[in-house]
A and B are shown apart, each in its own frame.
Chain A
Amino acid sequence: MKKKLLALVCIAAMVFSLAACGSKSETPAEAPAPAEEPAEAPAETPDAEPAEAEGTEGATDITIGVSFGQNVHPFFVAMQMGIEAACKDNGIENVNILAADSSLETQVSQIENLVTMGCDVILLNPYDSDGVKNAVDAALEKGVGIFTMDIDCEGSTAYVASNNVKVGELLGQWIVEQLNGEGKIAIIDGISVTSLKDRTDGFMKAIEGSNIEVVAEQQTAVERDDALASAETILQAHPDIDAFVGVNENSGMAILSAVTAAGLDDVLMTCVDATAETMAAIRDGKVDVGVSQDPYQMGYTAVEQAIKWKNGETVEEFVEVPVDYMNKDNIQSLIEREQGYGVEVE
């Protein structure tokens, strides 16, 4: 008996040593993006200033259906406000906004129902890019236009989103510039969600060719508690890094906690998305730079594109919603913009 147990321990030990040797290799294939990730603006009073309307006349007879993967997150709340504002500005009355509460099945039947109701276009934020394929195909067959927002799916008429590769590139360029193309950095990123994966790819591409070395990388950006544990441990192994890169709110804020707790004050930090926490951190000079998306504009643009398409104009397959740096200089105006969406900043 004891022998058996000993054998098991030996096997375990071997597995570990193998693990130790075979580390840092390729990772599992990326899963299709579920609901997007953290970002701006919570619900409450929709007193946002209506963005400039381009008043495409004669578009009022369009019927728009909207299906969100989930709409409790501030990011999607802002997007929904953008859609509502665009409809109001263009005098569209037939708008049906639904949310699938993070359930693929619900979203599929919502798409089917919207088609049956006679929608001309469906603005879709897929909960799962692959999972909605059949319903999307069926809708397209009936001549309904599918405009995806933030997350794409196959066959969509147009895809309206920030370019996440660009988000990563902006972070990378900033790092290269700040470090004069030389130094050691660590990064907490992710591959399980397409947006995070794109940011990571963009970042790595931007620092390629410089003498910047990524000494540690953990793909734990999705959950803040995981990201924090990773960040603490990475700082333990590499207290001498020049910059610690976060690619979303959770990783950025986790890095901030870990760096602060470790008492390091010369590490550059980054984050992405204009949320209450990230904006306060940048305003207070704790995090050096961030890149922000504009979900309100995403929703607004999607409606505009849908109207164009209904009027027989051609629309681009990918409509990019601009992203930009947020830093100490422009943070106050960003905070005001987000407050317009209902975000409370301490």
Chain B
Amino acid sequence: MNEKKKLDLSSFRELLLIGVVILLCIIWTAMNSQFISMNNITNILRQGSYTAIAAVGMTMVIIIGEIDLSAGSLVCASGLVGAMVCKSTNNVVLAVVAAMLVGVVVGGSNGVLCAVGKLPGFIATLASMTVLRGLAYIVTEGNSVVWTNDAFTKIGTGYVGIVPIPVIIMVIVIIFGVFLTTKLRFGRYIYAVGGNMEASRWSGIAVVKVKIIVYMIMGILTSIAGLIVVARLGSGQPSAGQNFEMDCITAAVVGGTSMSGGRGKILGTVVGVLLLTVLTNGMTLVGINTYWQQVFKGVIIVVSVLADTHTKKS
């Protein structure tokens, strides 16, 4: 009985979020009819795509009861590596592979530090965040990295038909995330580890392995996001991706992922990203000041977490 009620409420919560998104859309459209234009919808999806991709990974990391603060630096680092490889070899495949390799290595080492080294994820990823940002400035000497291969730029700016390539990548990643967390045994392990680590260890789940793999997935997804960001900007920037991890965490939290682990849904996070993107896009479209935008984002976080704690209590 109790179980059932909880389930109902959590799906109610997502509907509620979608309701807020729709409400926002109506408000923005009323204020500027351009909002609902095909072009702007494409814009919103493209602007949200890279955050959504990394946020899918972030949700898994938060579900296992950890956090990844290095996402922003990794977006920057993997993007830079991609840009540099593309610049020197002019080979897009090689550039993409190199960037994702950076993601695997960084994610993997985050996971090892956290699961084997027993460091709190907060500390381990705080360290890699600082290291990566420092390296980005050292390697580039503060300069931007520019390439000439158009195919690489297409990752961030290209279209298939009328659908932007980043959006297609995003959809694939979301499907992967949902499938992994809801259909596979590994997905159940993720929730178990986050819900009660000791119990999962006793019941025979390889907690260490689960943590490392989750961090690795996070690393790979973040590096994909990094490739999109760098291609979109048209140049590798050592300052790119500042505060990016916060956007991912915000989206996950707004989407109903519990910061204490064990609870959360990929789709909730996706709606969270959509909500935040629609909010920013709409506010810019109707000409609201940049800093008021930050204030309202903060309000959204508080409101949604309040809603979350209240759902939990009942």
Tell me the A residues contacting B by CB distance below 8 Å: 1-2, 4-5, 8-9, 11-13, 15-17, 19-20, 22-25, 27-28, 42-44, 72-74, 77, 216-220, 223-225, 228-230, 232-234, 236-237, 253-254, 257, 261, 275-277, 280, 343-344, 346
Contact = CB atoms under 8 A, between A and B. Distances in A.
Contacts of B20: 9, 12-13
A105 to B, nearest CB: 15
B9 A1 contact: yes
A20 B286 CA distance: 8
Given A12-B300, A16-B296, A74-B143, A230 B287 contact: no
B19 A9 contact: yes
Contacts of B148: 346
Contacts of A229: 47, 280-281, 284
Contacts of B101: none
Given A25-B289, A224-B233, 11 more contacts: A8-B306, A12-B299, A16-B296, A17-B27, A22-B292, A73-B142, A77-B142, A253-B233, A257-B233, A276-B143, A276-B144
B138 interface: yes
Given A15-B299, A24-B289, A8 B307 contact: yes
A4 B34 CA distance: 34
B88 interface: no
Contact of B289 (A8, A72, A219, A343): A219
A254 B291 CA distance: 19
B291 A234 contact: no
B303 A11 contact: yes
B12 interface: yes
11 contacts: A72-B141, A74-B143, A229-B284, A232-B43, A234-B285, A236-B43, A237-B286, A257-B232, A257-B234, A261-B157, A280-B146
Nearest to B241: A225
A19 B16 contact: no
A225 B50 CA distance: 11
A217 B233 CA distance: 20
Contact of B142 (A42, A234, A257, A277): A42
* Interface of B, helix, strand, loop or mixed by DSSP: helix
Given A77-B142, A229-B280, A236-B40, A20 B47 contact: no
Contacts of A43: 141
Nearest to A8: B307
B285 A23 contact: no
A97 B97 CA distance: 41
Nearest to A44: B141
A28 B34 CA distance: 29
Contact of B39 (A13, A24, A230, A236): A236
B32 A237 contact: yes
A4 B143 CA distance: 52
Chain B interface size, under 10 / 10 to 19 / 20 to 34 / 35 or more:
35 or more
A324 B273 CA distance: 43
Given A27-B291, A219-B289, A1 B234 contact: no
Contact of B27 (A16, A44, A224, A254): A16
A121 B16 CA distance: 63
Interface string B220-259: 0000000001001111010111100000000000000000
A222 B72 CA distance: 16
B105 interface: no
Interface string B295-307: 0100110010011
B314 interface: yes
Interface in B181-233: 229, 232-233
A335 B22 CA distance: 50
Interface string B29-59: 0011010010110010001000000000000
B254 to A, nearest CB: 11
Contacts of B157: 261
A253 B240 CA distance: 14
A85 B40 CA distance: 52
Interface string B1-31: 0000000010011001001100110010001
A68 to B, nearest CB: 12
Contacts of B299: 12, 15
Contacts of A73: 142
Given A1-B314, A224-B240, A229-B280, A23 B142 contact: no
A43 B296 CA distance: 41
Contacts of B286: 20, 23, 237
B47 A19 contact: no
A19 B288 contact: yes
Contacts of B40: 233, 236
Contact of A72 (B13, B47, B137, B144): B137
Given A9-B19, A224-B237, A19 B292 contact: yes
A35 B146 CA distance: 24
